Amino acid sequence: MDEEKLIHDWLVRTLKKRLSRDYKDIKDNLEGQKEEFQGVYPDLILGNHGMVLSVVEVETESTITEEASKRWKALATGAVKLMLMVPKGSVKDVTTLLWNEGIADRVSIGTYDIVLKMP
C-alpha cells in the first residue's frame, strides 16, 4: 500500500473519531458507497440535524496541486465551511493556491506533522 494513502486514510479515520464529539452526522468517503457533496466527494462531510455544516479534505504532499485547488473551490462555495488538513510544511503552498482560486477567506487550514524520534 502506498505510504501517503496509508497516512491519508489513517488521518481521515482519526479526524472522524475526534470530530464525532462536535458533529452527530459524519460521513466519510474512504470505502463503500461514496457520499457526494456539490458534485465532489470530500473525505469527510460533517453535519448536525440533517444539515451539512462543514466538509474536510485531507491532503498529502503529492496531492497539493492546482487540480486539487479546483476541487477545493467547488467545495468552498455556499455557506458550508471547507477545512483542509495539510502537512505542516505545505501551508505556504496551500495558502497561495487558495488565494489564486479566490477562496482563502472561506477555507480553514489545519496541519499535521509526523515526527519520529530515534534514540
Domain ranges of the chain: 3-112
What is the CATH number that goes with domain 3-112? Answer: 3.40.1350.60
36-73 confidence digits (pLDDT tens)? 888 889 999 999 998 999 999 999 999 999 999 999 99
CA 82 → CA 5, 74, 77, distances in Å?
21, 10, 9
**What pTM, to 2 d.p., does this model score?**
0.88
Contact 15, 29 (CB under 8 A): no
